[in-house]
Structure 1
Amino acid sequence: MPCIGVVLNWRGEPRKSGLYPVHIRIKIGNTARYFNVPLPQKIRKEQWQGKDGNWIKNTHPFAFEINNKIIELKGQINEYIKRTLNFNKPLTVENIIAHLTNKGENKSFLEFMDRYIKRPPEKLEPNTIKKYATTLTHLKKFKREIFFTEIDNTLLRDFSRFMQTDLELGGAATKKYLEAFKKVIRHARRENYISPQQMEFLFDGVKVRVEKAKRTFLDLNEVKRWKAVHFEPDYQYLERDRDLFLFQVYTGYYYKDLLIFTKDHLQMDEEYGHIILGARDKNGNQTIIPLFKFPYAQTILEKYRSRAGDKLVFDKRFLIEEPVYNRHLKEIAKLAGIHKNITNKVARHTNAQLWIRYGAEGAVLSKMMGHTKQETTRNYYDVNLPEIVEGTKRVDFGAMGI
């Protein structure tokens, strides 16, 4: 563990003025470094007593301020040491000094956020890092420099307004980037860059109105047109993605769910045919999907099935990057004469709408889609296969041609 001390004139060199600086000594093993304590007035030897909490005698005109400053710096060091050890990160004298050096009223919040993104205090997903990086880009457009002392309620409100007016971002995007900004601010507070007083009322009234998004889905005739699109030999990749999208429609899966769709999820029921038993990627809720309701699903499984020894249902050769897949879906939509913004998520919305439109019961739909909340489908029920069959018996998608 580091050894932290406070010393006067650590070099031991006499000065003609008789005034000396105060340093905090940080020592790990045989390595020691000294951090200069900012003083309103340097110290004479007779004004120094070196007692913990009362290093400077009251005979010095700024004894109270200097002693409190030393206490504050030692507190920052101890907080940094504790946090670093908790995250199992390397603790060095140089890192502690760098941490202290980055403090101060004139220090840049934007530089702090840049370091936060490059060296996050916790493991972040790539999309989360991208969100923080985009937030930083927006902040730099909003203001070329932001110092910690400038961060207040007005600045947050102005940044929110800037994103909506100057950058023309929607409510959802504005809220997302504002929340990222707030999270980094809270981390800066934990690092003692921002005082508790500054945080008081900081986020009050900083809200963004988000209009409920309209979900895009395909109706029955559009699904039929999608399925009926013919592709020339040079465009077989579009046929593949047409089929995978249909499989999403049949299952309610997102595209990323296909990437983790394993053979142990796919079951053959002797009485009904193929069903899917498993957990979706998003929230791990149990699902029961009556795949037998869609005869063309069997064709898709046979066309794109992986080899016998593979765990995944679909051969990885047929699964491409999601952005490329979404671009292909837009091409297919044009060929099908569908004038909607088609992404892979539209398939899941289409699945739900088809079941609702043609008579699946709410509890059954909840079980098929892996939902748990009333806002999503109504309520979660413990539904087994016979109940799935009973709850969907009025629906015959095979007869409908999809």
Structure 2
Amino acid sequence: MSTSAKIILRKKPNSKGLYPLAIRITKDRRSTYKHIGHYIELEDWDTKNLKVKKSHPNAESLNNLLTSKLSEARKGLIVLQTNNKDATVRQIKKEIYKPTSKLTFFDFADEHLEALVAENKINRHSTDSAWLSYIEKYCKARQLTFQEIDERFLKKFKIYLKGSCLITETTAMNVMVLIRLLFNRAIKDKVISKELYPFGTGKFKIKFPETTKTGLTGKEIQALENVSELSEMEEHSLNVWLFSFYFAGMRVSDVLFTRWSQIYDGRLHYRMGKNSKLLSLKIPSKVEKILLEYISDRKSNDDFVFPEMKKADLTDAKDIYRKKKVANKKFNDHLKKITKRAGIQKKVTMHIARHSFGNIAADNIHPLMLQKLYRHTDLKTTINYQANFIHKDADDALDSVVNF
């Protein structure tokens, strides 16, 4: 069983038409490649002597680098043979180019979680902790190296997530996104080589399934506005939902943090919690009616409009997170009863207020204006979001064919 290392020029050009220099490691007619990180023109490669021609301006430096990398690979092979290690060609590559750092995947995971706590991103901390628990259960320990996370590992892990854990494709992909994030950080910190990166073209692909965003129609919103005989808590929950809808699908966390001091000159001025962007919106007359129901409880101009955050410890991110989570669940429970009474068959949650605004806006509002209302950084994000609700062109095209 022969094993060898050889300098080659791979015949796979990049977008600029240049070809990558690499070390090819071969065992039992199976090969893997360690890219050097440099690209040259095809005519600058000496196929007979396996080196860069003098026609290349950096020929001497590149040839010295190639010689050094080839020597490194051959030394690694000698060590493996001396230790009588029988391994596949991929395992040989990992063994030769393994990093000197002893930091593991979970070392980076712990640092990631600590950073989220320090930045008061408690919601993200809770979610990512759950994702990491799946990885720990799968490995049955916290001794996982980045070298072990190859394409085969990811494929088997995905099967485990969807089979044993019974989670959705979307959730499985979210777990993979977290693994990819930590992998990129390890590469940036030079803990592992780029060659071990298991994601991307020709490797494991992270692809989210298409999701359906369901929003209420104008008639369904009117049904909610006119529903009667609500309890005090049901009316409050509906007020919060409508407040969100009237302000272009304002996120529930931003709704709960709305203060009276942010309302002046007939407008609501607030900073979005998700991306810290400032927004100023005219207060619709329907919102004015909602505000009148809460103004008697105002203790000061800096007081919250809605009561949920009034007893929160604003210096404790975990307490804020808990109160927001409890409030959101409470609202959703009441909305379930309210929508049933209103004769609405769709599942309505606080987040559906945002989808409902998008659904009614459809293609009636210019994408640039919607981008401003949503505070999306990229117009493409707005267009992709609205694509969930724009059906007129497709409906007209269908009618043009079948209505004859």
Would the alpha carbon gap of residues 169 and 367 (structure 1) be closer, same or farther in structure 2, given more than 3 Å must change? same
Please give the per-residue CA displacement for 1:231-263, whole angstroms capped at 9, x wherever unaligned.
35xx21111111111111111211111123233
> C-alpha offsets along residues 324-366 of structure 1, whole Å, 9 cap, x if unaligned?
2222222222222222221111112212333347x44443333
The one of 368, 381, 394 aligned to 1:363: 368
How many Å separate the matches in 1 of 2:189 and 2:286? 58
Residue identity (%)? 19
The count of corresponding residues between Structure 1 and Structure 2 is 265
Q: Equivalents in 1 of 2:164, 2:306: separation in Å? A: 46
Larger displacement relative to structure 2 (222-231 or 370-379): 370-379
Distance 1:180 1:376, change over 3 A: closer
Say which SS state the counterpart of residue 261 (structure 1) adopts. Answer: coil
The CA distance in 2 between the partners of 1:188 and 1:361, in whole Å, is: 43
Q: 2:302 aligns with which of 311, 325, 331?
A: 311
Q: How far, CA to CA, are the matches of 1:350 and 1:218 in structure 2?
A: 5
The equivalent position to 2:256 in structure 1, one of 241, 254, 259, is: 259
Q: Which of 326, 336, 343 matches 1:330?
A: 336
- 1:301 deviates by 0.5
- Taking the TM superposition and a 5 Å limit, the aligned residue runs for 1:129-168 are 129-145=125-141, 147-148=144-145, 150-168=148-166
1:372/1:312 Cα in 2 relative to 1: closer, same or farther (>3 Å)? Answer: farther
Over 3 Å counting, the alpha-carbon distance change for 1:183 and 1:365 in structure 2 is closer
Summarize the alignment of residues 229-248 of structure 1 with structure 2, pairs less than 5 Å apart.
229-232=227-230, 235-248=231-244
Corresponding letter in the other structure for 1:367 = K
Which runs of structure 2 are paired with 1:60-79 in the superposition (5 Å)? none
Distance 1:113 1:161, change over 3 A: farther
Does the CA-based 8 Å contact 1:117-1:133 persist in structure 2?
no
Q: Distance in 2 between matches of 1:361 and 1:376?
A: 14
Q: CA RMSD in A?
A: 3.6
Question: Which amino acid in the other structure matches residue 264 of structure 2?
Answer: Q
Instruction: For 1:209 and 1:118, locate their aligned partners in 2 and report how far apart those are by CA, in whole Å.
Output: 25
Whole-Å Cα distance in 2 between the matches of residues 267 and 226 of structure 1? 28
Offset at 1:188?
A: 6.0
Is 1:363–1:378's contact at 8 Å kept on the other side of the alignment? no
Q: Which amino acid aligns with 2:118?
A: K
Query: Unmatched 5+ residue regions in structure 2?
Result: 1-78, 80-99, 311-323, 385-404
Deviation per residue, 1:121-179 (Å, 9 max, x gap):
98352233323322232224434245435333311222123323443433331121112
Partner Cα separation in structure 1 for residue 153 and residue 382 of structure 2: 40
C-alpha spacing 1:126/1:162, structure 2 compared with 1 (3 Å): same
| CA radius of gyration, larger in | 1
Match of 2:118 among 109, 123, 133: 123
TM-score normalised per structure 2: 0.55
The alpha-carbon distance between structure 1 residues 322 and 130, as it changes in their structure 2 partners (threshold 3 A), is same
Letter in 1 for 2:293: K
- SS of the aligned residue for 2:127 comes to helix
Unaligned runs of 5+ in 1: 1-61, 63-74, 77-102, 269-273, 380-402
Measure, in 2, the Cα distance between the counterparts of 1:245 and 1:153. 44
Q: State the secondary structure of the residue aligned to 2:382.
A: coil
The letter for the 1-side match of 2:287 is A
The offset of 1:378, in angstroms, is 5.2
Partner of 1:298: 288
| Aligned-partner Cα distance in 1 for 2:192–2:277 | 42
Distance 1:115 1:318, change over 3 A: closer
What per-residue deviation string (whole Å, max 9, x for no partner) do you get for residues 253-281 of structure 1? 1111112323343233xxxxx33344333
Change in 2 beyond 3 A, CA 1:262/1:161:
same
C-alpha spacing 1:153/1:227, structure 2 compared with 1 (3 Å): same
Does the CA-based 8 Å contact 1:286-1:367 persist in structure 2?
no
Distance 1:352 1:132, change over 3 A: closer
Q: Does 1:276 align with 2:273?
A: no
Residue 282 of structure 1: how far off its partner (Å): 2.4
Once the two structures are superposed, residues 57-106 of structure 1 have per-residue CA deviations (whole angstroms, 9 ceiling, x without a partner) of xxxxx9xxxxxxxxxxxx86xxxxxxxxxxxxxxxxxxxxxxxxxx59xx
- Amino acid corresponding to residue 219 of structure 2 in structure 1: N
